[in-house]
Amino acid sequence: MFRREFLVAGAALAAVPAFAHHGWSSFDQGRPIYLEGKVLKSAWRNPHAELELQVNADLKLPADLKTRAVPAQSAKVDGAAVLANAQLPTRKDAVWEIELAPLTRMQAWGVPEIKAGDTVALVGFTFVEEKGDAIVRVEYLFFGGKVYGLRSSPA
């Protein structure tokens, strides 16, 4: 009897859709990209918050991007180099899936919940081979006049 209940429970769990989660090693950390646009959808949940971002059609690198101050993180990140090397994406997708940090880290940074209609800018990384979906893992998020480092907790 116990075995049958265990198998039924296992089958039920297998039917639940899994959230996509990509570790940092899946992304090309040697080629940071800059995106800016309007949030179409927001999912404020774990394993990490996610946005669907409609990129501005006239996307350009901000003139001050290389000189922006970035907050210290508990992980060793050369923020100045990340910003200095940021470039526009080679892909021309109008809509991108944006992977933010887990909710506990978003709370540690004090990031307010981002909602559909908000405008955000970011520097992050695409998949190593840039095939498949247009997905970016965010290193630095520019929102509400502040910048947040999302790889780790605030230092």
Amino acid 27: pLDDT = 66
Amino acid 59: pLDDT = 97
Q: At 9, phi and psi to the nearest 5?
A: -65, -40
Amino acid 128: pLDDT = 64
Find tokens 């049958």 and name the residue.
Answer: 4
- The answer to whether residue 65 sits within a structural domain is yes
SS (H, E, C) 45-56: CCCCCEEEEEEC
The three-class DSSP label of residue 70 is: coil
pLDDT along the chain (155 residues), means of 10: 46 39 64 97 95 97 97 95 96 94 96 98 83 86 97 94
- The answer to whether residue 48 sits within a structural domain is yes
Q: Buried b vs exposed e over 36-56: b needs ≥16 C-beta within 10 Å?
A: bbebeebeeeeebbbbbbebe
> Which range of residues forms the domain containing residue 62?
23-149
- The answer to whether residue 79 sits within a structural domain is yes
- The answer to whether residue 17 sits within a structural domain is no
Amino acid 44: pLDDT = 94
- Overall number of domains in the chain: 1
- The answer to whether residue 7 sits within a structural domain is no
- The answer to whether residue 14 sits within a structural domain is no
Q: Specify the CATH number for the domain of residue 99.
A: 2.40.50.140
Q: What does the DSSP 8-state code read for residue 16?
A: S
Sign of CA dihedral 92, 50, 100, 129: negative
- The answer to whether residue 45 sits within a structural domain is yes
- The answer to whether residue 12 sits within a structural domain is no
